Amino acid sequence: MRGHVFIATSLDGFIARENGALDWLPGSDGAAEQTGEDFGYQAFMDSIDVLVMGRNTFEMVLSFGSWPYGEKRVIVLSSKSLTLPDHLPDSVESRCSTPADLFQSLSEEGHQSAYIDGGNTIQRFLAAGLIDEMIITRIPILIGQGISLFGPLENDIQVQHLETHSFENGFTQSRYSLHQTKA
């Protein structure tokens, strides 16, 4: 089982404002929307078997209106009981699990790759040594404070830069391989 991250950050490393708002994300000039560029997102989604997100990210996605993941299997990690809205496909489920236990279960079910999304969830999977690759798109904006992509680490994590691509609107996207010992 391989864990993957595909996420955007402000230039100063935040994935959202302190209140969770993403109003800065499209860029100050809206160029991403005008060009129709998806920054490799669809190809990435086509390459993964299952999406794992935390409850806060799930609630943010629900606020977008329509469900953006189609029938892709989505697991929402939550330590509290979670009632899923009726309009969601049957491929969405809620679990309370450690990252290692979830990956073991998903592997036994035949899954090979998981998209890990949400700040706390990414941090938990990093700490467990379960992230193999990260694709980070930096948005050319400084928001000053917010929710950081990375939190405190018990040990250094060796990261290998694989490639960086620049887009016409100023976004830069880097892909990294992580060399971690699985917990």
Question: Are 118 and 126 in contact, with CB atoms under 8 Å apart?
Answer: no
Q: For the chain, 183 residues long, give each residue's pLDDT as a single digit of tens.
A: 999 999 999 999 999 999 988 889 864 334 445 557 889 999 999 999 999 999 999 998 998 878 999 999 999 999 998 989 999 999 999 999 999 999 999 999 999 999 999 999 999 999 999 999 999 999 999 999 999 999 888 888 999 999 999 999 899 999 999 976 555
Strand partners, 32: none
H or E stretch covering 172: strand 172-179
Residue 174 dihedral angles phi and psi, to the nearest 5°: -115, 145
Structure confidence at residue 27 (pLDDT) = 42
Count of H helices and E strands in the chain? 5, 10
Determine the Cα–Cα distance for residues 127 and 121; give it in Å rounded to an integer. 10
Report pTM: 0.91
What number of other Cβ atoms are within 10 A of residue 93's Cβ?
A: 12
CATH classification for the domain delimited by 2-179, as one of 3.40.430.10, 3.20.20.70, 3.40.50.300, 1.10.3720.10: 3.40.430.10
Cα 107 to Cα 78, 95, 176, distances in angstroms? 20, 16, 23
Give the domain ranges of the chain: 2-179
